[in-house]
Amino acid sequence: MPSPVTIETFMLSSSARAALLDLARSALRERLTPTTAPQQFPDAPENPELHSPAGCFVTLHQHSTHKLRGCVGRLDATKPLWENVYHTTAETLRDPRFTNQPVTANELNDLELEISLLSPPVQAANPLDFDLLNNGIYLTFASRAGFFLPQVARETGWSKEQLLARLCTEKLGLPPEIWKHADAKLFKFDVEVVGPERV
């Protein structure tokens, strides 16, 4: 098993955080507001902080009810952060859980947007080698993989064992104890949250 590894963390300036939220808002409004003009891919922002490669998650909630309306993410850190945020925000509107009740333009004024920025994942020394409330986790087994943000543990109050069991059943579609298998690999990552703010 690998020895414990320090996760590389990052903190964005307030101007970079504001720029990401504006970019995400634009991605949503462009796709939900009818227009005859073709969609234009945004110009790259000047802020160098937004050009570093990083994965991200984008989550949409109804402000009035806090009901989830979409959550999509990517660990891929080969593209610039701003580009990943733009594409991922657009993809929240195609979250398969809401295929029969997609987000509409009428909801724009009641939507809340949250962006979770992900540090590069590192392999954990063992399946329980992660900070329950501060690390995201990514589990792989055979050809399947799934991950939870640390917000899940904070909101549910689950223990590490409960979190891993639910990850196996809900994200990998496998028995709850599969995380204990010798071939299961757990990776962990830090998360910096931008928002939530109204769309």
Tens-place pLDDT, residues 134-188: 999 999 999 999 999 999 999 999 999 999 999 999 999 999 999 999 999 999 9
The answer to whether the predicted template modeling score (pTM) of the entire model surpasses 0.75 is yes
Tens-place pLDDT, residues 150-163: 999 999 999 999 99
Average pLDDT for residues 12-17, to the nearest whole number?
A: 92
Q: State the Cα angle at 139 between 138 and 140, rounded to 5°.
A: 125
Name all domains of the chain by residue range, CATH numbers in brackets. Answer: 14-119+191-198 (3.30.700.20), 122-190 (3.30.1490.150)
Residue 149, CB-side half-sphere exposure with 13 Å CA sphere = 20
